[in-house]
Each structure stands twice: as structure tokens, then as C-alpha cells.
Amino acid sequence: MILTDKQITNAIADGWIVIEPFRSECLGTNSYDVHLGKTLATYKDAVLDAREHNEIEYFEIPDEGIVLLPEKLYLGVTEEYTETHKHVPFLEGKSSVGRLGIDIHATAGKGDVGFCNTWTLEISVRQPVRIYAGMPIGQLIYFEASGEPSITYSKKPDAKYTTRSSRPIESMMFKNWDEVKQKWK
């Protein structure tokens, strides 16, 4: 079941959902609009290795915006910090963003119960497009979870994306590789 605007508001009042900053004008009928933060990142190396820590370079979006280019992956971040303690959040691109040929995530659109952070965006574009910090970039949709999880994401000892950040976070896939056993965890 997808939460409606009233249910999202009630869940915020009850502390089950946190959105900072919260702006009532961003609340849709059954979603909440999130905005592009001012920091982007790109990987330093042209070839990435899933077993290695691939480093990124950060840069700020200037006031006049920045043109994104096809065949380049950009990591962005939402302005909004969110917490979900009882619901499953999904991040989807806004249709207006999609109609500009901008994809905001490749595979990571679902959060977990207990996810508490900003959202790192995996941005790619179909043709050159200028973007701006603060522009609406996506929408969060909340689903009711059926039952309680045995452990929420923020309490898992092996959770890789729990450190609060206002900047995009690079892939931590390399943490799944066990050097000693030479296999994936």
C-alpha cells in the first residue's frame, strides 16, 4: 500500500518518517518531492573495478548551473535528509526530469526500513542538459511494510551507507569482497 499525503503527514507527526527540511508545498497526493543538492561527484578513473575502492572527485554546481554530458556517470545528492522507521521508501525521478532525458538512478531506487540519510543519485543523461542545485529532481514514495523487520538498515553491522552525508557517496561494493576467502559476501 502506498501512503497518501495525509498518511505521510501523519507518519511525520508520529516520527516514523523524517524529512529535513520539510516543505509542505513539496507534498504530492502520494509522494514527496526532493531536490538536487549543490554537490556532484564523478569517479577519478575511467575504468572502475568492483573489487576496489573507486575514488571520486567532488565539485559544486555553480549558480549558472552545469551541463551534464552523456556517457558520463554523475553522483548527486538530495538536499533532503530522510529517515524511515516503519515504511519502505522508493525514490523515483520526476516525469519533468525524465522528459529532459535525465535518469536519477540506475538501480538504487528502493530504500530499506531504517534508512537514515540523504539519497545519493546515480545521474546519467541522454543528451547534454544544464541542471541546477535546488531543482526538483525526484519524488519519494512510501510503502507500508507488512510486519516488522528483524533488524532495520541503520542497525545492521554491515550496512555501508549509514554515515550521514550532505555529499554523494561512492560505491562501497568493494566491501562485499572477502580478500581472505576470495569470494563475494
List, by residue number, the catalytic residues.
Answer: 122
Instruction: Decide if 24 contacts 94 (C-beta within 8 A).
Output: no
